[in-house]
Chains A and B, each alone.
Chain A
């Protein structure tokens, strides 16, 4: 490249200088004494992508990376001012836009009298070296991390060579096997037969050839191998889980063996304890169940015996009362007949109570056999029965179709019979009675509801509603014995549900209930 023809540019020396600059393996340039550029080599152009042809217009600093410009400017100024060498690292702009670090040197070229007549600038590519340094630092950091991991992990790690000599291990491996941190394990794995006996979990001795490392060396798989380890020199035993892999060379021959050890002695002991506790618990549960069954059986026979015993004298009362009325009629006046009628009624009443008690005790016994029940159909049939018994009553009934629930059909029918029966009864004096059975919500929970527009009751007495034999109406208003709702509640609770009543005197009642323990209730349509 021809030198620029500036007034201060040297001549013959320039040509050699140019050749030298061109020859230099990295980007280089020649500048005049005061600093203006007179030549840049091909490498400079190639690297920076500089295409300026008029040297006058070429400013070296323009081609330095903008972040380094300030610093380089300072260096150049210093060097030129003091007329001596400079050396520093900086980046040049590069054509491929990857920042590239160079070791930049500035050399003042002096004439025979020692005056600076030109400057030679050279750039040696140090990017690779830098990258290498960074990579090595990263690799060292990674190695340190790995080392820390291996040292701190609670699982033991052992490395053995293809012959079975232990070549490396982590602190955990030593500790797990009961060795001190300072013990040297750099020996053949077979030497450990003098330290340990290995047994299967059932107690059979595992011979050396079936120890993990020998097996791995033979190419066998060692995965979750759980064994007991007994130390021979002291009374210590452990339960270990071994996992290992065999690393092979490129030609397939074994290169080394990696083994991890998980010590589970304590955990297995706890497992055994839990199993034992569970077994004890099972035994206790069984005991209790048998006791409960026995108690239930006793209760059952008691209820049976009692109701049977109670019925006999009631039959006598009723029978002889009637016999009196029939056979002794002439001797009986109005009053006498009235008294006898009362006796008869009382006996019937007591009979109903006895039946009710028996029913109540029955409902708490036995397993709950859950089946699919069509509630809508059950309700229809119950209401049909009620209508048949009192055909003259015109009650408007509406039942939501498709109501299904999982429960004991017999018991659930009892529930509906009670609730609908009550609704039927307490609307006896209502002008246009309506009974409604449908799904609803109470306090955010889905449920069923039986509601009527009958006589209702005062809500403050509602807590008495579900107690056996409690009545909220006078006997002459609505005859009955008041046991129904206690039974209903029992049945509902056995299904895991709840029942609540809402009512207003003179405005009817609503009985909300569910038949399963889920929070959202089972008030579902089919």
Chain B
């Protein structure tokens, strides 16, 4: 069953709204599920906690993961994903405002597929997000 979902893991409500708006522009808003912290993201992916009902559901085509999250941060989510058979191959795009080199390197080292800076300018941001969504959701062939 081909997945028809994008998991957006974002704790900032404004960023969430703006990201969804950007994805809406390319008609992807309906495919997006949102987790608001690291724990929630993992529960979603492993169908645990509040997401027990997701057992058997296909994995998302891509996870858009913010680095800085409460409870469990983005890097940990990534590592746990990569450590588990069920989620090891799911494409992950780190979406973050950090421009620190070490964040970038650590993300790649932990198995991120892509690392994208959230630009300040909304126009740029929207374009970036839209392109990302389209690429991973529509263009890319998932594993």
Which residue numbers of A lie inside 8 Å of B, CB to CB? 304, 308, 311-316, 318-323, 344, 347-348, 351
Cβ contacts B10-39/A at 8 Å (1 or 0 each): 001011011001000000000000000000
Which of B14, B125, B126 is close to A312, meaning CB atoms less than 8 Å apart? Answer: B14
- Min C-beta distance of B48 to chain A, whole Å: 29
Q: How many residues of B contact A (CB 8 A)?
A: 17
19 residue pairs from A and B, CB less than 8 Å apart: A312-B14, A312-B15, A313-B14, A315-B118, A315-B120, A315-B122, A315-B125, A316-B18, A318-B120, A319-B17, A319-B18, A321-B122, A322-B122, A322-B123, A322-B126, A323-B18, A323-B122, A348-B121, A351-B120
**A315–B10 CA distance with the chains assembled, in angstroms:** 14
- Min C-beta distance of A5 to chain B, whole Å: 130
**A348–B125 CA distance with the chains assembled, in angstroms:** 13
**A316–B21 CA distance with the chains assembled, in angstroms:** 12
Which of B100, B120, B123 is close to A314, meaning CB atoms less than 8 Å apart? Answer: B120
Contacts of B126 in A (CB 8 A): 322
Contacts of B21 in A (CB 8 A): 319, 323
Cβ contacts B68-97/A at 8 Å (1 or 0 each): 100000000000000000000000000001
Contact B18 A308 (CB under 8 A): no
Asked if B98 CB lies within 8 Å of chain A CBs, one says yes
Contacts of B97 in A (CB 8 A): 308, 311-312, 315
* Secondary structure call for the A interface: helix
Which residue numbers of B lie inside 8 Å of A, CB to CB? 12, 14-15, 17-18, 21, 68, 97-98, 100, 118, 120-123, 125-126
- Of all A-B residue pairs in the complex, the 3 with the closest CB atoms, nearest first, are A316-B14, A322-B122, A319-B18
Contacts of B118 in A (CB 8 A): 311, 315
Contact A308 B68 (CB under 8 A): yes
**A318–B18 CA distance with the chains assembled, in angstroms:** 10
Closest A residue to B96 by CB, please name it.
A308
- Min C-beta distance of A358 to chain B, whole Å: 8
Which of B68, B98, B100, B125 is close to A319, meaning CB atoms less than 8 Å apart? Answer: B125
Contacts of A312 in B (CB 8 A): 12, 14-15, 97
**A347–B126 CA distance with the chains assembled, in angstroms:** 16
Given that A322-B122, A323-B21 are known contacts, is A315 also in contact with B15, CB under 8 Å in the complex?
yes
**A323–B15 CA distance with the chains assembled, in angstroms:** 13
- Min C-beta distance of A324 to chain B, whole Å: 10
Contact A315 B18 (CB under 8 A): yes
**A47–B125 CA distance with the chains assembled, in angstroms:** 123
- Min C-beta distance of A306 to chain B, whole Å: 12
**A315–B117 CA distance with the chains assembled, in angstroms:** 12
Contacts of B18 in A (CB 8 A): 315-316, 319-320, 323
Contact B100 A320 (CB under 8 A): no
**A304–B125 CA distance with the chains assembled, in angstroms:** 21
Contacts of A347 in B (CB 8 A): 120
Which of B15, B68, B98, B120 is close to A348, meaning CB atoms less than 8 Å apart? Answer: B120
Contact B121 A318 (CB under 8 A): yes
**A315–B21 CA distance with the chains assembled, in angstroms:** 14
Given that A304-B100, A308-B68, A323-B21 are known contacts, is A315 also in contact with B14, CB under 8 Å in the complex?
yes
**A316–B97 CA distance with the chains assembled, in angstroms:** 12
**A218–B124 CA distance with the chains assembled, in angstroms:** 94
- Min C-beta distance of A346 to chain B, whole Å: 12
Contact A318 B122 (CB under 8 A): yes
- Min C-beta distance of B54 to chain A, whole Å: 29
Given that A319-B122, A322-B122 are known contacts, is A304 also in contact with B14, CB under 8 Å in the complex?
no
**A32–B90 CA distance with the chains assembled, in angstroms:** 147
- Min C-beta distance of A359 to chain B, whole Å: 10
Contacts of B98 in A (CB 8 A): 304, 308
Closest B residue to A327 by CB, please name it.
B21
Closest A residue to B98 by CB, please name it.
A308
**A323–B125 CA distance with the chains assembled, in angstroms:** 12
Contacts of A313 in B (CB 8 A): 14
- Min C-beta distance of A315 to chain B, whole Å: 6
**A323–B121 CA distance with the chains assembled, in angstroms:** 12
Contacts of B14 in A (CB 8 A): 312-313, 315-316, 319-320
Contact B120 A311 (CB under 8 A): yes
- Min C-beta distance of A482 to chain B, whole Å: 19
Contacts of B120 in A (CB 8 A): 311, 314-315, 318, 347-348, 351
**A319–B125 CA distance with the chains assembled, in angstroms:** 8
